[in-house]
Chains A and B, each alone.
Chain A
Amino acid sequence: MRAWVFGDNIDTDSMAPGQYMRHGIETIAQHCLEANDPSFPAAVRPGDVVVAGVNFGAGSSREQAPAALKHLGVAAVVARSFAGLFYRNALNLGLPVVVCGQSDRIRAGDNLAIDFEQGCIANRTTGETFACEPIPSHLMAMVRDGGLLPHLEKRLRHA
């Protein structure tokens, strides 16, 4: 998992810019985080990880923000802290979000391995390991199903 590193207070409007909000997620995702790093939407690869500072996802309730990251194949977001509304939205859409107090030790391009349920990030580039807040297993089950909606569908089918 290759790291893309961003700063503090990365807002939802930069992940899902207002001028594209009337379109589908394919269009929105092409402009995801371009205000912060113009190369990001075209160069990010499935399995890459977004790493940031405090209050990632500040701003709007728009789910297209985490949905755009997921659409681009981003495997997780690691941040020192998240805006509460974004945090709930991301998990509900099946995008793992990881709170890590040492996210500032990660550099762009570092190769990471994350154990979400154990709460551990291994930086394979530097050999460091960081503790992070574990995601409870029942929430990870929802994330693995692809989010709350497919998770509910699965449960209704088996009911």
Chain B
Amino acid sequence: MAQTLAQKIVARAAGRTSVTPGEIVTCRVDLAMMHDSGGPRRVKPMLERLGAKVWDPSKVVVVTDHYVPAADEESRGIVRTARDWARETGIRAFHDEEGICHVLLPERGHLRPGMFAVGGDSHSPTGGAFAVYMFGIGATEMLGVLVSGEIWLKAPHTIAIEFGGRLREGVSAKDMMLFLIGQLGMDGGQYQAVEYCGEAVRALPMQERMTLCNMTAELGGQTGLIASDRVTADYLGIADADRWDSDPGATVLAHHRFDADTLAPQVAAPHSPANTKDVSAFSGIPLDLAYIGACTGAKLEDLRMAARMLRGRKARTRLLVAPASKRDEEAARREGTLGVLIEAGAELLPNACGMCAGYGPSRLPEDCVAISTTARNFKGRMGAASAQVYLASPYTVAASAIAGRVADPRDHLS
């Protein structure tokens, strides 16, 4: 029987040759990722209560990114717990204040196509860009994984999302996702596997593919997957990526086809990522602040998009940039991208979740109107409940920062 990419990985992890969507299977976990907020702080006391040990510390990755930099005693305690626990547990893959977990996983070589992985964070589907079946779980489920090395799930149906053609200049993966979430809704993914395919997806560089899979969280899928290919292998620095893909003719729950050629830059208005329209519907809205940050919006590729807009120009709004990882920031500095942003007036923030998570002291003030490359504009998430957050691509956020109002990035390219 023809199987989807999702079925193939789940079957492999369940020790089976195939699985039927809807059946409940138990899978061996190849990798479990946790960050400071949902990780050690929460699982350590539970492990102690059970008197249990971690099944395989070599399969666990711990990252500090949510309470970074720690601004108060509670936050310092949370980060300290992550450090101490990683050391005591013998977890060697501990990345301390080096960037956002979803960006570090592939950057530090933890992912390989065909893996089955869980993460203690809802944006864990980011790993799906590398044909890894990866999804977010809560701390109690993580406890179950840590003591058993296993997790149950309903073998997923696959929803195929095909983008034909090519994206136009000034249009990016973020626009594809905001468009999709607007079209299908925040529950469009039905907690199934979403597979992104088609010419426009294949043409995306790896970090743009990560943006697609990352925002499967906002689409309501369990995971978001892209078949592995040459681009995957090159990014991971491996000679050849095993080809993990869907068989021709495999049964899918739905197959949505969209045309990348005609896609305009998208903007999601407050307070939902599904409030999406073409940028023209919002152009002219005055802005106080532009934010370029988060796993979904401040990777090297994202910084490059912003720099293309900002080169030789000045931001009229306050412009905050929080590069998603230390290495991406260093690469951006070496190639001059970071210099362009700073020259344009950008204030540089630490390589962490920052305002996107809204856990730290830097939050949007009352009545602030912001445009942001982040994933969620829920009321009050990034700051005051009265703050208004528009979501958009790095191109659109940068173009809007220059204009001081929501602006179409294509006007700057011509």
- A residues lining the B interface (CB < 8 Å): 9, 11, 13-14, 17-19, 21-23, 35, 54-55, 58-63, 81, 83-85, 87-89, 92-93, 147-149, 152-153, 156
Contact = CB atoms under 8 A, between A and B. Distances in A.
> Sorted from nearest, which 5 A-B pairs have the closest CB atoms?
A84-B191, A18-B358, A89-B138, A55-B187, A63-B138
B246 interface: no
A13 B376 contact: yes
A13 B359 contact: no
A9 B272 contact: yes
A2 B72 CA distance: 39
B121 interface: yes
A84 B223 CA distance: 11
Interface in B112-151: 119-122, 124, 135-141, 143-144
A18 B124 CA distance: 18
A59 B376 contact: yes
28 contacts: A11-B376, A11-B381, A14-B378, A14-B379, A17-B358, A22-B72, A23-B74, A35-B385, A59-B122, A59-B217, A59-B376, A61-B119, A61-B121, A62-B138, A63-B42, A63-B139, A85-B135, A85-B136, A85-B138, A88-B137, A88-B141, A92-B140, A92-B141, A148-B140, A148-B144, A149-B46, A149-B143, A152-B50
Contacts of B139: 63
Contact of A92 (B49, B138, B378): B138
A85 B151 CA distance: 14
A106 to B, nearest CB: 20
Contacts of B358: 13, 17-19
B187 A81 contact: yes
A35 B378 CA distance: 10
B165 interface: no
Contacts of A84: 191, 220, 222
Given A21-B359, A83-B187, A89-B141, 15 more contacts: A9-B186, A9-B272, A11-B376, A19-B359, A58-B220, A61-B122, A62-B38, A63-B42, A63-B140, A83-B191, A88-B138, A93-B138, A148-B140, A149-B49, A149-B143
B187 A62 contact: no
A139 B183 CA distance: 35
Contacts of A153: 49-50
Given A61-B137, A85-B137, A22 B378 contact: no
Interface residues of B, number: 44
B380 A22 contact: no
A14 B380 contact: yes
B363 interface: yes
B19 interface: no
A156 B49 CA distance: 11
Contact of A11 (B124, B185, B378): B378
B37 interface: yes
Contacts, number: 106
B143 A35 contact: no
Given A22-B74, A84-B191, A149-B143, A59 B222 contact: no
A61 B118 CA distance: 12
B137 A58 contact: no
A133 to B, nearest CB: 14
A9 B186 CA distance: 8
A58 B380 contact: no
A110 B122 CA distance: 34
Contacts of B74: 22-23
B21 to A, nearest CB: 14
Contact of A35 (B120, B135, B380): B380
B242 to A, nearest CB: 28
Contacts of B121: 60-61
Nearest to A87: B191
Given A54-B187, A81-B187, A88-B141, A62 B379 contact: no
B75 interface: yes
B381 A13 contact: yes
A43 B238 CA distance: 58
Contacts of A63: 38, 42, 138-140
Given A84-B222, A89-B140, A18 B187 contact: no
Interface in B245-282: 272, 274
A81 to B, nearest CB: 6
Contacts of A58: 186-187, 220
B67 interface: yes
Contact of B140 (A9, A23, A35, A93): A93
B78 interface: yes
A22 B272 contact: no
A54 B272 CA distance: 14
Nearest to A18: B358
Contacts of B72: 22
Nearest to A9: B186
Contacts of B135: 85
Interface string B48-65: 011000000000000000
Nearest to A11: B378
B357 interface: yes
Contacts of A87: 191
A149 B38 CA distance: 16
